[in-house]
Structure 1
């Protein structure tokens, strides 16, 4: 790809500024603004649709290549107190990848606690060598470098006390396992005795006093640069660090050990306690690293290393870091973390004052390549329309730049075919520095908990066909809905879930009806509360997808472009380590909303029940769907029609992921089940959280719970909810030039919801207790499956 970019804002008002950052491997590129309408290139559909928008940025720009510096680390600015002729460095380490001999990252040493200028080969530091052994480095600048090795390879997943002392030419290097019954991979100290090392060597190298580079944790300075952080850091470390200390004296082992939890004494230069930022509300000042010594040599994190992780002294009694801060004094660093590409601005758009609310993009063209950088324009206050599309941007971020086809050996079995790779997949495989999705694992095998929008996101582009879907997924799939609304002449606004999170329910109150995208999977507590308040306050919600309101997320309090998720206890791409299920940003329990007592059925009447990724199917009306109560919904549709046995996503409206009515999980008793999907293949299976045991007969042809339910119910104050319960649903809207029963059904509901009239009544059933739920639900599902 010759040209690629991103923006600093995703949701803006007319009149506001959006900065665009571009990397172009050509002499020049052309930029303009387009309105995005339809991104599906499938020849069976309406085709790719964009509309040019006249703005001041429509011109040619000089091309330049901009580099991404991935890998998390801590930077402590240079200070005279860190320029030491005599010193001790100490830090507790738990390496997760002591050697980089496999995978896609170049092998090399990993920095632990360093003040090292690689361009001069000057300074000092603790490292892990290419052979996986602890090393101490001294360099004098003219090329004299002394590297002392422990000679004992470190074991992954185990805690060690690492230290080096320098005095009168003598260098002492100590590598000592710290083993408790609960803190690491092994519980017996005897398992690690062979990795203990104490090495003393004489060195003639004298560190010069002019090494003015910062002190770095989890890396070392490759060179000083003009980049925003001022340095290029190499030697990315994979693993945890806990309680780093610097002393202006050569301390014996006993004093080093005493400094771990009680840093003190006149020789203490710095003592960084990572737990200092932990509060009852989570980690505040997420990028701050506090020096508790009198010198206050505070540091800052770069590229969101994982916080709220267990430390060297975790005792496995407390699972929430805010309740045992002293046991969570560690940070987990990765050489592929990224929170911001930190490119320079190439051009700035002032959004035209009269630009209607909608989805737009900066179109970048160089040679034969084109990239689209999307952004949403909100309506000015007081100019809102009756219909709002609530954009699930947090879910887009969760899937941003996923590499699952290339790193998950079961991907082909999962989708029952050979996944097709797009150009963007190939670029991502070659440029891992563009960052990962929350469906990836880091190079050390640990799960990716954070995702940022401040980078090129190649699968958040019109035209991108995702490997997981027979067609489109997430961002591009939601253009099916935008196209349908636009073609049928509906006037609508766009509001992002990020806007809802930060500004509250008031951003939705002007709208008579709110439509979700096809997959609003990742939701914060604030977003869930505000959407619930909207429906309870008389708002009307059309949930046009499935597997929504599923994972607990929250936003970085210091960077609205970064989300966090902790995965486990559901359908997972990875699972958190014990003690690490709580979000670092807030301290709240992560994983599924269902396991927080807020199953999606409580809001939308349905929740995630089954998934399969081969072909999609269709719906049939139920007894409820044929009743007089729901005639309004099926106006113009014959009672026995198959609903949606066509479409651009797997050739049907019911597919990929499906939601189900379940009174035991909170589907309201007034809900009417208008239709059920049927005819799913045995590739479709119930989701893991529905299973207590793995048993035969759980596929789509054998299990009646493998289905999607179209559900309607009224709420308080004239509100109402209608749920389609399928990710593939919107892919059927444009079939036969938009003249089809899915289009009619959706139009009937939208027109009724957008009207000023009262919502239709719901079912007249009595609320049930958990004890008799099955007796109540079963008659509703007669004939299903």
Structure 2
């Protein structure tokens, strides 16, 4: 294998989709000196796998076609809370800092739990922290006092530091929050008292939770923090215990400066202060909220029902919402630009190397208008879910041996700062619950990626272009915001190859569209699988909770199955009473990545109701070719099953069941473990069924289907069947109800 090209330029845009008259901002980073050239291209194809379409793009005249000065732009990961203290700390000579903490990565480096530090003065400020060895410590100016006893990972602790400015006495207290008899037996009670010299010097820096240093940008705490408190004098044990309650005790009202309630405003960035000082703040970079606190007892699993038991926030040193790069150039979509998939193409001449990067964006027709009877519903929510996934860089995880095979994989291997996907883990090994598009997304680029997600879906665009079929582009974000009104004007909607992630509003919109006579071509597999949430006040980010079952890269902790963004129960749509079979006739059946297979025609193909799909198609294997595993049925496949909600009148037109031993049924189908066996439920089913008011659904049952469209210059039975269905779905003649 030849050495992969090193990327010297990349970027992202905001927003990801736009209508005529709307502006798209492009943010670019160069890793070597030198100018770069930008221009606008319309993307037609982007599958560079063997047997794929290759890259096809068409230059579009635009005002962005210029040379720009290259520059480096940094990304600052790490979540934290921030409070502007105003004059609340004026005259402070002593203090108590206390909180419940659940460390998840102690001993990695110094980690600030809470305090006021920064502004370049290392002799000022104060903070409660874990030192480099993971021991509880307090910093007073440039003096650090520690217990010398490392805290245990994954154990709730009450921690406190008090300081008496008159005597110089510092006291550290560490007590376990025991949740079981075993914990109570081996729990560590640690106390340390020491006298220090010097005065407490304060700055105008903000008060921080889970971070320290300037900007802030260092000493991030990994783990949960619950009920943080700040008092203006050293408290005794009874007073500290009283302050652990959900509110400020009346007898401590005068001395408590901050009593922060992380159980409030869980669906927002807000941090609420219950003290008389009203020192409210906010969290930055989306730490995980809606998580169990120190006092969760299992009696309730929804944070909405028992908010007092969900008073923790889980902070991570690698959280990221917005890379917050400066804009290098902008493009306002002109009125006459056709709807489609476009990209800002960047060409950079670095030191001894040339690099090309493309920043895709999606142009919709004007709101309330259509330019075609066909719309391609781009699964941008699923693209966000997989954004910067590093699964291919982990040996023996789904696919790949850990060696980068594509240029953009190689970039991800050396740039952890762009953060991971909903399939990856944080540094503390907890699952990543939130994923944003406001950063470079390396696997949402054509060409230099494995055909999965966006690069694979470009096969649909290339096929539509080849047959001369006009189409509008719409995306998941508009579907979530506008619902069925977005879909209703179109006679036929095409999905992508893997529309896996849907919010409630998205499913409602598609279901309503079908109820009103719409026609849907589901051209993929493992679709409509996971429930997600959007933050209405934070564009470009989604949340998943991998609850109780499903084929998953990680599991949400027990008690944390409800989405923080909206309080809905997360997990599989199948477990939420809306299995994909009800919507599109088939649901996720199996997964395997070694090779793809072909379909064989079934009796349903000869039924007069669906005979149009096979018009002109010769008998024989269907799709024994393709750029995704060498066949039309593969990677992730769906099956017909009335037990899971498939309409009883749905016809099975074709089936693929000749797979290797790697193609295994989804785990949610099993009640217990069992040895490998010849499994009749490991199959891909192609189905058709009618919907109310003359509508219909056609589902292929395989992610790999669209990778077979371009074979033999589009002269093949996969392209023929897909074209037959599209033509009939565009025919205004209603589909009659089945007999």
TM-score (norm 1): 0.90
Q: Which of 358, 379, 398 in structure 2 is aligned with 1:372? A: 358
| CA distance in 1 between partners of 2:586 and 2:281 (Å) | 47
| CA distance in 1 between partners of 2:484 and 2:50 (Å) | 40
1:497/1:662 CA distance change after superposition, 3 Å = same
Aligned to 1:133: 135
Q: Does the Cα contact within 8 Å between 2:50 and 2:627 map onto a contact in 1?
A: no
Shift of 1:418: 6.7
Confirm whether residue 571 of structure 1 aligns to residue 534 of structure 2.
Answer: no
1:153/1:484 CA distance change after superposition, 3 Å = same
Confirm whether residue 711 of structure 1 aligns to residue 693 of structure 2.
Answer: no
Aligned to 1:440: 424
Aligned to 1:343: 325
Aligned to 1:171: 170
**Aligned length, in residue pairs:** 718
| Residue-by-residue CA offset, 1:310-364 (whole Å, 9 max, x unaligned) | 0011111111111001000000001111000011111111112210000111111
Shift of 1:11: 1.2
What pairs with 1:184-333 in structure 2 (closer than 5 Å)?
187-193=182-188, 196-209=189-202, 211-222=203-214, 231-261=215-245, 262-264=247-249, 265-278=253-266, 283=267, 286-333=268-315
Q: Which runs of 4+ in 1 moved over 4 A?
A: 416-420
Q: Does the Cα contact within 8 Å between 1:55 and 1:352 map onto a contact in 2?
A: no
Shift of 1:259: 0.6
Q: Does the Cα contact within 8 Å between 2:493 and 2:521 map onto a contact in 1?
A: yes
Confirm whether residue 681 of structure 1 aligns to residue 665 of structure 2.
Answer: no
Q: Which of 479, 499, 504 in structure 1 is aligned with 2:458? A: 479
Confirm whether residue 528 of structure 1 aligns to residue 529 of structure 2.
Answer: no
**SS, match of residue 358 in structure 2:** strand
Aligned to 2:478: 499
| CA distance in 2 between partners of 1:599 and 1:31 (Å) | 44
| CA distance in 2 between partners of 1:668 and 1:46 (Å) | 36
| CA distance in 2 between partners of 1:458 and 1:694 (Å) | 37
Aligned to 2:3: none
Confirm whether residue 653 of structure 1 aligns to residue 632 of structure 2.
Answer: yes
Shift of 1:487: 1.1
Aligned to 2:75: 68
Shift of 1:695: 2.2
Confirm whether residue 610 of structure 1 aligns to residue 590 of structure 2.
Answer: yes
**SS, match of residue 22 in structure 1:** strand
Q: Does the Cα contact within 8 Å between 1:69 and 1:232 map onto a contact in 2?
A: no
| CA distance in 2 between partners of 1:418 and 1:530 (Å) | 39
Confirm whether residue 581 of structure 1 aligns to residue 573 of structure 2.
Answer: no
Shift of 1:758: 1.6
Q: Does the Cα contact within 8 Å between 2:694 and 2:736 map onto a contact in 1?
A: no
| Residue-by-residue CA offset, 1:101-148 (whole Å, 9 max, x unaligned) | xxxxxxx20110021117321211011111010110011xxxxx2111
Shift of 1:163: 1.0
Aligned to 2:42: 35
Aligned to 2:415: 431
- Bigger Cα displacement from structure 2, 647-656 vs 172-181: 172-181
Q: CA RMSD in A?
A: 1.4
What pairs with 1:676-755 in structure 2 (closer than 5 Å)?
676-698=655-677, 702-755=678-731
| CA distance in 1 between partners of 2:113 and 2:592 (Å) | 44
**SS, match of residue 188 in structure 1:** helix
Confirm whether residue 621 of structure 1 aligns to residue 627 of structure 2.
Answer: no
Q: Does the Cα contact within 8 Å between 2:586 and 2:640 map onto a contact in 1?
A: yes
Task: List alignment gaps of at least 5 residues for structure 2.
Answer: 1-6
Shift of 1:384: 3.2
Q: Does the Cα contact within 8 Å between 1:617 and 1:652 map onto a contact in 2?
A: yes
Aligned to 1:103: none
**SS, match of residue 728 in structure 1:** helix
What pairs with 1:454-469 in structure 2 (closer than 5 Å)?
454-466=438-450
1:60/1:232 CA distance change after superposition, 3 Å = farther
Task: List alignment gaps of at least 5 residues for structure 1.
Answer: 101-107, 140-144, 223-230, 467-471, 765-785
Q: Does the Cα contact within 8 Å between 1:713 and 1:761 map onto a contact in 2?
A: no
Aligned to 1:155: 152
| CA distance in 1 between partners of 2:324 and 2:670 (Å) | 44
Q: Does the Cα contact within 8 Å between 1:90 and 1:163 map onto a contact in 2?
A: yes
Q: Which of 573, 584, 593 in structure 1 is aligned with 2:573? A: 593
Q: Does the Cα contact within 8 Å between 2:386 and 2:422 map onto a contact in 1?
A: yes
Q: Does the Cα contact within 8 Å between 2:260 and 2:274 map onto a contact in 1?
A: yes
Shift of 1:62: 1.1
Shift of 1:514: 0.2
| CA distance in 2 between partners of 1:289 and 1:629 (Å) | 59
Confirm whether residue 22 of structure 1 aligns to residue 22 of structure 2.
Answer: no
Q: Does the Cα contact within 8 Å between 2:517 and 2:695 map onto a contact in 1?
A: yes
Shift of 1:188: 2.4
Shift of 1:45: 3.3
| Residue-by-residue CA offset, 1:639-693 (whole Å, 9 max, x unaligned) | x221000111111000101000000111001111101013211111111011122
| CA distance in 1 between partners of 2:192 and 2:608 (Å) | 85
Aligned to 2:646: 667
Shift of 1:755: 1.1
Shift of 1:420: 4.6
| CA distance in 2 between partners of 1:66 and 1:375 (Å) | 21
**SS, match of residue 117 in structure 1:** coil
1:328/1:732 CA distance change after superposition, 3 Å = same
| CA distance in 2 between partners of 1:760 and 1:519 (Å) | 29
Q: Does the Cα contact within 8 Å between 1:384 and 1:510 map onto a contact in 2?
A: no
**SS, match of residue 531 in structure 1:** helix
**SS, match of residue 321 in structure 1:** coil
Confirm whether residue 13 of structure 1 aligns to residue 19 of structure 2.
Answer: yes
Shift of 1:425: 2.1
Q: Does the Cα contact within 8 Å between 1:392 and 1:496 map onto a contact in 2?
A: yes
1:46/1:421 CA distance change after superposition, 3 Å = closer
Aligned to 2:4: none
Q: Does the Cα contact within 8 Å between 1:604 and 1:723 map onto a contact in 2?
A: yes
| Residue-by-residue CA offset, 1:424-471 (whole Å, 9 max, x unaligned) | 2232222211111000011111111000010001111001333xxxxx
What pairs with 1:637-652 in structure 2 (closer than 5 Å)?
637-638=617-618, 640-652=619-631
Q: Does the Cα contact within 8 Å between 1:305 and 1:337 map onto a contact in 2?
A: yes
Q: Which of 385, 405, 422 in structure 1 is aligned with 2:392? A: 405
Q: Does the Cα contact within 8 Å between 1:416 and 1:613 map onto a contact in 2?
A: no
**SS, match of residue 675 in structure 2:** coil
TM-score (norm 2): 0.95
